[in-house]
Amino acid sequence: MRQKPKRLKKGDTIGIISPSGPFRDGQMEKAILFLEKLGLNYKLGQHASNRWGYLAGKDEERLADLHNMFANPEINGIICSRGGYGAARMTDKIDFELIRNNPKVFWGYSDITFLHTSFGQLSNLVTFHGPMLTSDVASADFAELSAKMFEQLFEPTPLVYDEKISELAVLSQGTTKAEVVGGNLSLLVQSIGTKFEIETSDKILLIEDIGEEPYRVDGMLNQLRQANKLERLAGVVIGDFADALSTGDKPSLTLEEVLDDYFKDRPYPVMKGFKMGHCQPHFAIPLGVEGELDTYSKTLRLSPGVE
């Protein structure tokens, strides 16, 4: 299993970076209030507020913030401001030894999936798939459960997801224990053919996405299938696929039909309905820890992500 970062303490300092897209004016102020309520200090990356089109600054600027936060001994954890697009543009220039030698809490999702995958595989670091500061924490619909998920950073806490949180549907029966990997489906697909290609053999794979019509989800799952990423899985956790309805009057499969076609009655357990991803509440989980998926009790149990 991967190296776990040290737990946070009240008074610790969080580094805020924008590895992908820029955030809007007024959002960061709300997010900072949330960090302060958690008892945390913060340091904004030098370039975290930059804008270069759809990117939060040039690649070298966003990369510098990432490196500086991991290298700075006064920074105890790193939370991304938002997703969007762009993290993968700089990943081939990341100093993975720096990250391996300075393990810290690293938190985000969506476009940050590319960094989760690369940090896990090349720096052996447990990272956290959870709601981000400006795109989630600062939004009016930020749920109480989403806020509560940050508590796992302060104390090694086993997590349990069951139907008390949301209704879960079984696509394939079974139980399994394995390392949990994954995140945003489109970013997992973007890793195929790169040196950061997602490793799925004998893993529990989490997938989620937003704004992708059923034919697009079909195409991405087909690419994973043809890249042999769905064959030797230990299990699959299907998170939220927000705004996945087909548009226009063209014939379409439903998202449910697509998911059934790829995952029904597989030789490993598969459940859907998890509130993980672009949704509220957003159940945050550590990636790279052992998970236990049990479709008979409809539970997902996860080991703590910090030590």
Residues with active-site annotation:
110, 208, 278
Cα distances (Å, whole numbers) of residue 297 to 157, 161, 204, 269, 292: 21, 11, 17, 12, 11
The pair of three-digit structure tokens given for residue 91, joined into one six-digit string: 């990943």
CA distance 299 to 301: 6
**CA 283 to chain centroid:** 10
DSSP, res 257:
H
Do the beta carbons of residue 47 and residue 57 sit within 8 Å?
yes
Sheet containing 285-287: give its strands across: 41-44, 13-17, 77-80, 105-108, 127-129, 285-287
The pair of three-digit structure tokens given for residue 228, joined into one six-digit string: 């042999």
Strand ranges, E, within the chain: 13-17, 41-44, 77-80, 105-108, 127-129, 159-161, 169-172, 175-184, 203-210, 235-242, 270-272, 285-287, 290-294, 299-302
For tokens 């936060």, name the residue.
69
For tokens 């064959």, name the residue.
231
Q: Is 279 exposed, middle or buried (0-12, 13-18, 19+ CB in 10 A)?
A: buried
Angle, vertex CA 206, rays to CA 201 and CA 210, nearest 5: 135
The pair of three-digit structure tokens given for residue 44, joined into one six-digit string: 């904004």
Helices 214-226, 255-263: inter-axial angle, 10-degree rounding? 20
Tell how strand 203-210 and strand 235-242 pair up: parallel
